Amino acid sequence: MNTLTAKSRAKKVWFDERSLWILLKDGRKISIPLGFFPRLKQAKRLDLEKFTLSGDGTGIHWESLDEDISVPGLLNGIGDLTKK
């Protein structure tokens, strides 16, 4: 894992019809198709917006959806680990 990945922290999270968007504290902006995370894709808009940033932005957590996403993991290409 390189330094740009290991120290990556989310500053802001939002959604459009197809993607999860993350503004990182270093100014980079990334988008991930919601299809990479079935729980997010199937969730209602109101539930999507009920998240918390954990670990100073290293993680994104949705209590009601039982979903956790690692920001450094995303940057390393790690998607939904619940897929078989």
Q: Is the pTM of this model over 0.75?
A: yes
Q: Which two tokens stand for residue 25?
A: 């504290």
For the segment 36-70, what is each residue's pLDDT rounded down to a tens digit?
999 999 999 999 999 999 999 999 999 999 999 99
Helices (H), the chain: 3-6, 38-42, 45-48, 71-75
> What's the mean pLDDT in 27-38?
94
Contact 74, 57 (CB under 8 A): no
Q: What pLDDT shows up at residue 78?
A: 72
- List the domains of the chain with CATH numbers: 3-75 (3.30.2020.40)
pLDDT score, position 3: 52
